[in-house]
Amino acid sequence: MKIKLITMAAAVALAAPLLAHDFQEATTAPARAAAVAEADLAKPPASGAQTFVITSTGGTHGKAVRWAAPDGSRWSRESLLLRGFKTEIDQRTKLAADGSISELAIRGTTPSGDAAEKFAGGAYESPVDKGRVEGAGAFYVPYGGLMEPTLLLAEALYRAPGKTLALAPSGRATLVPLTTLEVSNGKAKKKLTAYSIDGLSIAPTPVWFEGDRLFGVAGFLNFFPDGWASVATQLSQAQDAAIAEQAPALLAKIAPKVAGPVVFNNVRMYDADAGRFRDGMTVVAEGGKITNIVEANEPIRLVNAKVIDGSGKTLVPGLWDAHQHYGFDASGPLLLSTGVTSVRDPGNRPEESIARKARIDNGQLLGPRIIPVMLIDGVGPMAAQMAVNATDEASALAAVKKAKDMGFTGVKLYGSLDPKLVPVIAGEAKKLGLRVQGHVPRTMRPLDAVRAGYDELTHINFVMMQAMPDAVIEESNGLQRFYGPGRYAADVDLNGTPMRAYINELAQRKTVVDPTLAIFEGGFTADTGEIQAMYKPYDGLLPPVIGRALKGGSFAPTAEVSREQMRASYAKLQQLVVALYRAGVPIVAGTDGAGIELIRDLELYVDGGLTPAEALATATIIPSRVFGVDDERGSIAIGKLSDLVLVDGDPSRRIGDLRYVDTVLLGDRLMKGDALRTAAGISGRPK
């Protein structure tokens, strides 16, 4: 579970749970004993500093101040409070004559603990690694920091010959022009130019310049000079439009439409409707639909057919990621490369989300089919940054109406919402045919939310909240939603009368659960510096900056909650998922991450006691039924959409073989797994 903010590039690339939607007060944020206290961090000078305000559609989240010291060194002081997760850091940087970094020091705390990192004399040491940079001139990109590393890199790239630089410890980045725009804050006008930093991430990282001076960053979080936050939406739309212009070329290159039949011959087929695997099958698709399914020894006559040999391979319905905050065009190839052909997006910037879905549906953008959900929350420091705000009955009803009018299929409620508004929103949503899901607002228990109208509970920690002490429930929109279950879940008796009654009521109501189990394995069980299990198959295959990021992000132990407690509690969360499934609660697999974590969720279901066929159902037919599209998706059946994935292996024996995607057919577009991985910045087949 990525609970740290590194460079913005890595943050946008792997929008893991706490970046994608999950960040208590500073008094509860964990900190290692060695961390420099907030009061001891650098103080900006009274004059001569540049202040950037950190904002989102949810309001203001902090600020970043940059200045130059008399000795020529560059300083920044950054402060962020995002859904309760607090980052307080400073950074001192010295630049060499060639513009590279000669010295760097980061101090303070992040949600993962001590942020201490240093680079000097070619040697570096971060919270997750240490080593030495060979050679000179490469630009050191730290593991940690907030926005300052990206700003410094953008400035260095702008000055560099060809606007490209080798990176340290490894990699290369290039600054590529995107678009220009004139904006006004009501008092002044500026002509700005957008560039993207390519090479850090699977997605381009846009930055804005005013002439040769860096102006700011628009996106998931906005960093703009004080007084200019109002232009964020304009700039975000402009950069997104420029990036979108690149999409049709990629679509044509790696996902051409197929004319005539496509035959997957002699495959092992996952029959999701029957819940079993069938050997020796042949599946035919044409015109975006499945047209025939026969045993491999049965003769079929087809004209101009493209025949794909499936010997030793398995054909499965396109997978679902039921918790995918689909915020970037570049996510499309990444998701498809792991076999995901459908996603449920449980919250994004509303207009952008609907526009992206339309571009995919219209054949202008390569990506999975999207079931969009609008995020609704209250206000305050714990509020979700991309939510539509509801503070009273009128605004709550207006939010639901907006969701319906814009084409969303449901609403997701968040932790800072006034509990009194839950039945108001749920009632209106049901009238309009929308589903209701979400986090559980503070002071409520999950069964309260279900009885008030929830169709679905999001995240297994919120399901476990039913058994948490009142003190945890009172602060469940902050870090207690993690540290509470991390401390107490291990001692919960799943077979005791209270929990059995609770689970049975969820089953009777057919309340859906979206567990996102793998992110809790990562957040609760991994030590800092250890790559999390969900990312081990991709170790060494992702861009270098992301590769370092995968070594961090677990929850730091505290005086009240040890790593051993968290590991024991994680095991109980895993047992709870299986208990829910066995009781008849519909489970939908989802990542709350980049998407490559999905197969780890299925592995964890199998490790917990489900069969591979049962686990695979949670990412195929069950979500299709839950979202009301099982007439067209979720199983391999004649007449359904030909969203099909051929994997090189046998997931009936080893569910992790689903990672080895050989071929993807999305309707009438045929793609090779290797081409998708290359487009997503993955340098080889997962291990």
Q: DSSP secondary structure string, 29-55?
A: S---TTSPPGGGSPPPPSSS-EEEEEE
Any domain includes 535: yes
Number of Cβ within 10 Å of residue 150's Cβ equals: 24
212-260 pLDDT tens trace: 999 999 988 899 999 999 999 999 999 989 998 989 999 999 999 999 9
- CA dihedral for 8, 12, 13, 15, sign (positive or negative): positive
Report CA-CA distances (Å) from 598 to 206, 605, 616, 617.
28, 11, 11, 13
Three-state DSSP at 56 gives: strand
Q: What does the block give as tokens for 511? A: 């309340």
- Least reliable range by pLDDT among 29-38, 63-72, 283-292: 29-38
Would you say 15 and 7 are in contact if contact means Cβ atoms under 8 Å apart?
Answer: no
Buried b (16+ CB within 10 A) or exposed e, 496-533: eeebeebbebbbeeebbbbbbbbbbbbbbbbebeebbb
Domain co-membership, 231 together with 369? no
Name the phi and psi angles at 627, rounded to 5: -90, 5
- 443 and 564 together in one domain: yes
Would you state the pLDDT for residue 546? 86
- In this structure, are 531 and 617 located in the same domain? yes
pLDDT by residue (tens digit) across 84-95?
Answer: 788 999 999 999
* Same-domain check for residues 221 and 348: no
Q: Is residue 250 part of a domain?
A: no
Query: Is 232 in the same domain as 343?
Result: no
3-state secondary structure of 421: helix
* Whole-angstrom distance, CA of residue 662 vs CA of residue 420: 50
Choose the final residue of a domain: 182, 215, 245.
245
**Cβ distance 335 to 343 under 8 Å?**
yes
Q: Which of 201, 225, 245 is the last residue of a domain?
A: 245
pLDDT above 80 for 33:
no
pLDDT digits (tens, 9 = 90+) for 606-647: 999 999 999 999 999 999 999 999 999 999 999 999 999 999
Residue 674 lies in a domain: yes
Instruction: Check whether the bond before 169 is cis (ω within 30° of 0).
Output: yes
* pLDDT at residue number 34: 64
Question: How confident is the model over 489-537, as pLDDT tens digits?
Answer: 999 999 999 999 999 999 999 999 999 999 999 999 998 888 999 999 9
Polymer length in residues for the chain? 687
Structure tokens at 165: 């630089």
Domain endpoint, select from 219, 245, 271: 245
pLDDT tens digits for 137-187?
Answer: 899 999 998 899 999 999 999 999 999 999 999 889 999 999 999 999 999
The per-residue pLDDT of the chain, averaged, comes to 92
**Does residue 166 belong to any structural domain of this protein?**
yes
Specify the pLDDT at position 549.
82
- Whether residue 31 has pLDDT greater than 80: no
Compute the distance between CA of residue 90 and CA of residue 84 in angstroms, rounded to an integer. Answer: 19
- Whether 71 shows a pLDDT value over 90: the answer reads yes
Angle between helices 598-608 and 517-525 (to 10 degrees): 80
Measured distance CA(453)–CA(430) in Å, rounded: 9
Number of domains in the chain: 2
pTM score, two decimals? 0.89
**Residue at 499 is within a domain:** yes
**Inside any domain, residue 263:** no
340 and 484 part of one domain? yes
Q: Mark whether 512 and 602 lie in a shared domain.
A: yes
Q: Residue 489's domain is classified under what CATH number? A: 3.20.20.140
Phi, psi of 503 (to 5 degrees): -65, -40
463 and 561 share one domain:
yes
Section 330-350 average pLDDT:
95
Residue 671 belongs to a domain:
yes
Q: Is residue 120 part of a domain?
A: yes
Instruction: Identify whether residues 583 and 669 lie together within a single domain.
Output: yes
Question: Does residue 83 register a pLDDT over 90?
Answer: no
CA 248 vs CA 116, 177, 667: distances in Å: 43, 18, 17
Residues 579, 438 within the same domain: yes
Pairing of the two strands 435-438 and 456-458: parallel
What domain range includes position 172? Answer: 8-245
